[in-house]
Amino acid sequence: MDIQLLFTAAILGIIEGLTEFLPVSSTGHLIIVGDLLGYTDDTSKVFKIVIQFAAILAVCWDYRERLIKVASGLRTEPASQRFVGMLFVAFLPAAVLGLMFHSTIKSLLFNPLTVATALVVGGFIILYVEKRAYHPRVETVEAMSWGDALKVGFAQALAMIPGTSRSGSTIMGGMIFGLSRKTAAEFSFFLAIPTMFAATVYDLYKNWSLLRIEDVPVFAVGSIASFVAAMWAVKSFIRFISNHTFIVFAWYRIVFGLIVLATWQLDLVSWSEP
């Protein structure tokens, strides 16, 4: 058993869990840190898919009472049917565009330099959104309209560009469209479940030939680390946004992205290029 590989798996799992639901791009962090640690082979592609799914399971567990209530009332409760319907509407844009451009984006944009650029640009967008006059008209997920769900869905589709951040796109998009911070964040969490589940199934199908039994310990370590870190991150994030803006995440993105670009420009790190 390769201890160094297990250590790498634990690090990437923690990073995935901590960043999946923050507006800082978990995929971007996995690409950059994976490149830095030299974990970029074919197995790493499947590994990153698996640990993202583990983070989604953490949200399912954290919101299990809400999800069980929705599932149990799906056949008879209009509120549950409407909630699931809105998630489906919000899921559609990313699903359709993902099927159309998934392979192209993976081959051209999944590299540290693209991620770093997207981190910086996204950081400035968050600063812009936070500087606008903010007057939310939707205070709960239940109060969202079908139009709100569709607009958030199109915002989520922007996250197909690595480094953009799925949660960042949906939360910032939700705020621009009139959702409160907490409502935008919670809807982003719920929308992550069908979106990431579908992405996981699709990626595993496309990369099925890369799965090997000897990789199970590595996947297990990464998944456990991701699940635990995501559990902590989700609860902490909801508490944080109750009293703070997203400006700290914006500056983190900008600084992190600029550091990666600077180390590339100064030839301090041999990053993988497009």
- Three-class secondary structure of residue 54 per DSSP: helix
User: Tokens for 244?
Assistant: 């703070």
Q: What is the pTM of this model?
A: 0.88
Beta carbons within 10 angstroms of residue 190's beta carbon: 21
Please report the pLDDT score of residue 124 as a whole number: 96
Let me know: does 199 contact 31? Beta carbons within 8 Å.
Answer: no
User: Of 147, 167, 149, which Cα lies nearest the Cα of 158?
Assistant: 167
Return averaged pLDDT per consecutive 10 residues of the chain, 274 residues in all.
Answer: 89 94 91 92 85 91 90 90 95 90 80 94 93 86 94 93 91 92 90 88 82 88 96 87 87 96 92 76
Please report the pLDDT score of residue 43 as a whole number: 83
227-254 pLDDT, tens digit each: 999 999 988 887 888 788 899 999 999 9
**Residues ≥6 apart with Cβ < 8 Å to 228:** 17, 58
Q: Which residue has tokens 């844009």?
A: 93
